[in-house]
Amino acid sequence: MRNNLGRVILILIFLNLNLIASTYKWSATANKSTAMTNEAIYLKYVCEYSDATGLYVIEFNPVVDNDEYSVEILSETEKIQDGKKINTFEFVAFVKHAGVHKFVFETTMKKTNKDSIQNTVLGRDNSDYEEFSQKVIKQEVISVDVKESSNELVGEFILKVKKDEQKLKAYEPYHLEIKIEGVGDFRAIKPITFNIDGVKIFSQKTIENITLTKDGYKGSWSQKFAFVGEKDFKIPKVSIEYFDLKEQKIKEMTIDAVNVEVEKAYKKEELLDAEEKGFEFNYTFLYYILTFIAGYLFAKLNFKREKNKDAKEASFKEKIQNSKSLKKLMIVLALKDSKKYEGLILKIEKKEITSLAVIKKKLLN
């Protein structure tokens, strides 16, 4: 019993000495004193203790997005070095307006009280004491002279463009992918839109694959398109301006205009023999292509209407029976009634239906 009491007394003495002796010192730095608007500014705050004590808890969260600037956390670390505890906080700031900007942040230091230690060590259940004492520390002011960049998009970028051959058949999709790689505030890149008469345009959502670094966001931004038309069309030129930090001037990323040549539309018999001729459909846009084809054929071609409804149905079932693949079957269904068989076509396209025999049986019964 005396031995246990002696250990408790020693622990209390040790902890009380730490409470008295432990001190800390803050420092604040930035990686630049001048910057452009929307350029990444790296901020680093370090709290170094006089020992390895764990008696302090730090509350420091200046992350914000307002009209003047935005701040994002890059990292928060704690380590023991040479017998001293060191807490490091790293942030990246983006200033939105020109002028001398001052970063003034506050930190709350929460220190464990003597009563808290005594009650923990001695096992007391006392709720009438404050567990921490708090002190607000005003961090050292960091001043940065921010100049106007004349463009929201700031950084160092490379443009890459992938596109199909410029000759294709009617209603066959023309694919275009725009990709921007580099370092900067990718959030400032706006989605690209096209509007071309007589052309159906399918656009995927933009994809950002980026990581926050000291220099800003690093990675890539991309957007994919498919253009479907009946006749020749032109994809207009696209220009994306940005302020190049390396050359300190406005530069332009340009996607040149593309003149797409479109062959005449398919005839009905060409469509039904498409698989034997080796024509490959793009599954992503297959349903839309079939819908366009069906609409064009019914609008442009003068089909002879059979007088006997039963004869029509028999002919339709014969085409189903003679379909040698799911691709050909989808074409038959789209030509018959694309709206009626929309759900079935999509299931085949998504490979939810993979058995030709099963789907034939369902359609013929």
List, for residues 201-257, the tens digit of each pLDDT value.
Answer: 999 999 999 999 999 999 999 999 999 998 999 999 999 999 999 999 999 999 999
Q: Based on the domain organization, do 39 and 78 belong to the same domain?
A: yes
> Whole-angstrom Cα distance, residue 352 to residue 186?
37
Range of the domain at 135: 2-147
Does 27 score more than 60 pLDDT? yes
CA distance 180 to 203: 17
Let me know whether 117 and 10 are in one domain.
yes
Same domain for 120 and 38? yes
CATH number for 111: 2.60.40
Q: Which range among 173-177, 197-201, 329-333 shows the weakest confidence by mean pLDDT?
A: 329-333
CA distances from 88 to 28, 61, 109, 175, 326 (A): 10, 12, 14, 48, 61
Higher pLDDT pick, 322 / 8: 322
Residue 7 and residue 141 in one domain: yes
Whether residue 95 is found in the same domain as residue 135: yes
Choosing from 117, 147, 177, the residue where a domain stops is 147
pLDDT at 18: 46
Same domain membership, residue 169 and residue 138: no
Specify the number of domains making up the chain: 3
**What is the distance, to the nearest Å, from the Cα of residue 292 to the centroid of all Cα atoms in its chain?**
32
Judge whether 26 and 45 are in contact, CB under 8 Å.
Answer: yes
> Is residue 129 over pLDDT 80?
no
Contact between 3 and 56 under an 8 Å Cβ cutoff? The reply is no
Asked whether residue 226 falls in the same domain as residue 325, the answer is no
Alpha carbon distances (Å) from 264 to 17, 94, 200, 233, 304: 90, 53, 17, 13, 22
SS (H, E, C) 306-330: CCCHHHHHHHHHHHHHHCCCHHHHH
Same domain? 250 vs 284: no
Report pLDDT for 193.
95
Answer for the pair 38, 183: CB distance below 8 angstroms, yes or no. Answer: no
Question: Do 163 and 258 form a contact (C-beta atoms < 8 A)?
Answer: yes
Residues 10 and 141 placed together within one structural domain of the fold: yes
